[in-house]
Amino acid sequence: MKVAGLGQCSLDNLFIIDSFPKPDTKKEVIDWTTAGGGPVATALVGLSRLGIDCSFYGITGDDEAGKKIADSLKAEDVDIKGLIVRPQSCSQVAFIAVEKGSGRRTIFWKRPSAAPLKPEEVPGDFLDNTDFLLIDGLMTAASFHAVRKAREQNIPVMLDAGSMREGMIELAGLCDYVVASEEFGRELFGNSGTFDAEAAVRHMCSFGARASTITLGDRGSITIAGDEVFRTPAFRVKVVDTTGAGDVFHGGYIFGLLKKWDIKDVVRFASAFAALKCRQLGGRAGIPTLRETEDFLSAHV
């Protein structure tokens, strides 16, 4: 089975501190690492660890970060023939301060100077022999192009809706699955008042997807599929870092869909897959194997 993903990729520098310091002070770092990141890129790494063939479509600059981003995908057997390196441009990078124990993070991120992927840069055959497409909507024109191609070929599409942007609702209307962050859910109602996750996910249902889910961090997730709304609790693990947990959730979700599991089993698997990721610093180091995830699920029936 094969999954194509089109979206953002970045290089994350992550460091653990015992507490967030006051401005203009010094704080000793307990541990640090560098890791590839980006919603679609990390989801594909998750799928690749589960044995799925993956191809990534996106952009980097021609800087050291870009080289590391490419290497981080190659090392996980993600096909990067569709990763375009823009000359004289900078890749997206992030500096992420992770608070020990709480999992709270302060994220300093630098937008890439490299221009977004253009529709004409997506190869005509990019969906050949492909069973699923994942997009994050961050490169609008290319995302619409890719989704329309997938619809022509009856390939199911998931939108990873991280935050509200121009075109996001229209894009969601073209997708079979919309798996959104709590931030996106809140922004659906203009970020006002108390957040009603069920109202948000019911509203998302109106976009037309077969299933929609909002992830709620350690409060689990809420899903609507057909007429049914259900909550899935988060699994308790010793959290080192939640970076990439949402991305890995998307990877696990797609895996379950490819296996044609019942939607509740799909979300439960995604939830375990994402929880296990949190045991290590960085978006990818902690991503478990299929066996580890199955063992964990068996132990938590």
> Smaller CB distance to its own copies: residue 42 or 293?
42
> Smaller CB distance to its own copies: residue 28 or 152?
28
Q: Which residue has tokens 């089109």?
A: 6
Report d(CA 219, CA 293) in Å as an integer. Answer: 20
Residue 26 lies near its own copies (rule: CB under 8 A): yes
Residue 279 lies near its own copies (rule: CB under 8 A): no
Chosen residue from 18, 21, 81, 170 binding its own copies by CB under 8 A: 21
Question: Considering the complex, what minimum distance in angstroms separates the CB of residue 197 from its own copies?
Answer: 19
* 264 burial via Cβ count (<10 Å: 0-12, 13-18, 19+): middle
Residue 118 lies near its own copies (rule: CB under 8 A): no
> Smaller CB distance to its own copies: residue 24 or 152?
24
Chosen residue from 18, 20, 115, 208 binding its own copies by CB under 8 A: 20
| DSSP conformation class of 88 | T
Residue 109 lies near its own copies (rule: CB under 8 A): yes
Residue 29 lies near its own copies (rule: CB under 8 A): yes
Report d(CA 57, CA 83) in Å as an integer. Answer: 5
Residue 88 lies near its own copies (rule: CB under 8 A): no
Residue 104 lies near its own copies (rule: CB under 8 A): yes
135 with 40: CB under 8 angstroms? yes
100 with 18: CB under 8 angstroms? yes
| DSSP conformation class of 283 | S
Residue 195 lies near its own copies (rule: CB under 8 A): no
Strand partners, 13: 34, 95
Q: Which residue type sits at 117?
A: L
> Smaller CB distance to its own copies: residue 21 or 208?
21
57 with 122: CB under 8 angstroms? yes
Which residues are CB-contacts of 254 (< 8 A; sequence separation ≥ 6)? Answer: 3, 43, 47, 52, 132, 134, 158
Report d(CA 182, CA 159) in Å as an integer. Answer: 14
Residue 18 lies near its own copies (rule: CB under 8 A): no
Q: Please give the full DSSP string across 140-164, using - where no structure is assigned.
A: HHHHHHHHHHHHHTT--EEEEE-S-
State the pairing for strand pair 92-99/105-110. Answer: antiparallel
Q: Which residue type sits at 274?
A: A
> Smaller CB distance to its own copies: residue 32 or 261?
32
Q: How many residues bind its own copies (CB under 8 A)?
A: 27
Which of the stretches 23-31, 133-141, 231-239, 285-293 binds its own copies when contact is defined by CB under 8 A? 23-31
> Smaller CB distance to its own copies: residue 176 or 247?
247
Q: For its own copies, what does the binding mask look like between residues 30 and 69, x meaning CB under 8 A?
A: -xx-------------------------------------
Contacts with its own copies, residue ranges (CB under 8 A):
13, 15, 17, 20-29, 31-32, 93, 95, 97, 99, 104-111
